[in-house]
Amino acid sequence: MANQQKQQIAYIFDNYCRQNPHAVECSIYSS
C-alpha cells in the first residue's frame, strides 16, 4: 500500500513538474 501511494505521489509530482518546469522542487528533483 505504501509503495502504491509513493507511485501516486511520483505521478502527481511529475505532472506538476511538466506544468511548472522551473519550480524549485522540480530542479532539485531532476538533478
- Joined grid coordinates for residue 5: 501511494
Q: What's the grid cell of residue 21?
A: 518546469
pTM of this prediction?
A: 0.63
Model confidence at 20, in pLDDT bands (50, 70, 90)?
A: very high
Q: What is the average per-residue pLDDT within 1-28?
A: 90
Query: How many domains in the chain?
Result: 1
Per-position DSSP letters for 1-31, written without gaps between them: -HHHHHHHHHHHHHHHHHH-TT-HHHHHHH-
CB neighbours of residue 13 within 10 Å: 13
Q: In the predicted model, what is the mean pLDDT of residues 4-18?
A: 93
| Segments forming the whole domain that contains residue 28 | 1-31
